[in-house]
C-alpha cells in the first residue's frame, strides 16, 4: 500500500529541491492515467478532488477510487481534498479516507482564516492526515482577481495554523489556458524568507514550464497544482479517438486511447517538477 499524506511527499521535496504534481481529477480515467504516469516516472503523485469533481461524484466514491489506485500503485499516492470550504466538508473527506485536506479560507478576514484553518489542521493531524491552507486569494481567469499574498500575513498564518503546506498568490491564476507571463519571484522569495513550510502554487497550468522547473529546484515551492492543461489534453485525445472512426461507439475502447495519450502528457508534467 502506497497511500501517504501530503507531508510525507512534500517534506522530502522541500529538503531535496524539487516539487510534486498536484493533479486535478475529474473521474476514474484521469486518475488511472495520473497514477500510470507517476509510476512511469517513479515519482509520487497527489490526486486532487476539487469542487467540480465532488459535484459530479460523491466524496465517499472518490475516496474509494483513489485508495484503490494507491493500494495497487508502486509509487506514493496522496488522496487530497482540494478547496474544501467548510469544516464539515473537510471532516467528511477525512472520515472517508482522504489523507490530506486543503481548506480554502482565503477570502475571509485574516484572523478568521487563521482560526478556521488551525481548527481543521488540528482535526487532520488527529486523523493522521495533512492540511494545506491558503493565504492570499488566488484569482480566476475572467473572474475575481487577487492582490497577492502579503509576506507578513503568510508568516503569521504559517506560524499560527500549523499547516503542512501553504498555498500562496504570486501572480498565479486558476483556469488559465496556456503559459502566462510568469510568477512574481521577488514575492516568492519574500514569503519563503519568513516561512518554513512547503509552498504551493495553484493554477500551475498558467506558469511557463521553464519557470516551473526553476522554481521547483530553487525555491520552497514544493507543489504545483495542474488541472487545465491536462483537461485540455484529455479533451483533445477524446476528440481524436471519437472522430478517427465514426463507427466507433464502445466507451471502453475509446477511453483506452484517451488514457494512453493522457499518460504521456502527465509524464511530461511530473518529470518537469521532479528531482
Rounded CA gap, 13 and 133, in Å? Answer: 18
Catalytic, 184? Answer no
Write the CATH number for 251. Answer: 3.20.20.70
Determine which of 110-119, 154-163, 167-176, 185-194 has the lowest per-residue pLDDT on average.
167-176
Which member of 30, 82, 150, 164 is catalytic?
A: 82
Number of domains in the chain: 1
- The mean pLDDT of 209-220, rounded to a whole number, is 95
The strand ranges marked E within the chain are 3-4, 20-25, 45-49, 77-84, 100-103, 130-135, 165-168, 199-201, 221-226
Q: Where are the alpha helices (DSSP H) in 180-250?
A: 185-192, 209-218, 228-243
Q: How confident is the model over 176-200, as pLDDT tens digits?
A: 566 665 788 999 999 999 999 999 9
- The mean pLDDT of 234-243, rounded to a whole number, is 94
Cβ atoms of residues 14 and 216 within 8 Å: no
* Per-residue pLDDT, 247: 86
pTM confidence score: 0.94
Q: Which SS3 state, helix, strand or coil, does residue 31 take?
A: helix
Question: 229: burial class by Cβ within 10 Å (0-12, 13-18, 19+)?
Answer: buried
Q: How confident is the model over 53-70, as pLDDT tens digits?
A: 999 999 999 999 999 999
Domain around 90: 3-273
Amino acid at each position: 500500500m502506497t497511500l501517504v499524506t501530503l507531508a510525507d511527499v512534500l517534506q522530502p521535496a522541500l529538503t531535496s529541491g524539487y516539487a510534486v504534481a498536484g493533479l486535478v481529477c475529474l473521474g476514474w480515467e484521469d486518475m488511472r492515467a495520473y497514477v500510470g504516469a507517476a509510476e512511469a516516472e517513479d515519482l509520487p503523485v497527489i490526486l486532487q478532488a476539487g469542487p467540480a469533481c465532488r459535484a459530479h461524484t460523491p466524496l465517499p466514491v472518490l475516496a474509494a477510487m483513489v485508495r484503490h489506485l494507491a493500494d495497487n500503485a508502486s509509487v506514493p499516492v496522496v488522496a487530497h481534498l482540494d478547496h474544501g470550504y467548510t469544516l464539515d466538508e473537510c471532516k467528511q473527506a477525512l472520515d472517508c479516507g482522504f489523507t490530506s485536506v486543503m481548506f480554502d479560507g482565503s477570502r475571509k478576514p485574516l484572523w478568521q482564516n487563521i482560526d478556521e484553518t488551525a481548527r481543521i489542521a488540528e482535526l487532520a493531524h488527529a486523523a493522521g492526515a495533512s492540511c494545506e491552507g491558503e493565504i492570499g486569494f488566488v484569482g480566476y481567469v475572467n473572474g475575481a482577481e487577487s492582490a497577492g499574498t502579503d509576506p507578513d500575513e503568510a508568516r503569521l498564518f504559517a506560524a499560527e495554523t500549523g499547516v503542512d503546506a501553504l498555498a500562496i498568490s504570486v501572480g498565479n491564476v486558476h483556469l488559465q489556458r496556456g503559459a502566462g507571463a510568469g510568477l512574481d519571484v521577488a514575492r516568492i522569495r519574500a514569503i519563503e524568507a519568513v516561512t518554513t513550510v512547503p509552498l504551493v502554487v495553484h493554477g500551475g497550468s498558467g506558469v511557463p514550464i521553464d519557470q516551473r522547473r526553476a522554481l521547483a529546484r530553487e525555491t520552497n515551492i514544493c507543489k504545483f497544482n495542474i488541472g487545465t492543461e491536462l483537461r485540455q489534453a484529455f479533451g483533445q485525445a477524446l476528440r481524436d479517438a471519437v472522430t478517427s472512426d465514426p463507427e466507433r461507439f464502445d466507451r471502453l475502447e475509446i477511453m483506452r486511447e484517451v488514457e494512453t495519450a493522457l499518460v504521456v502528457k502527465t509524464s511530461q508534467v511530473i518529470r518537469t517538477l521532479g528531482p
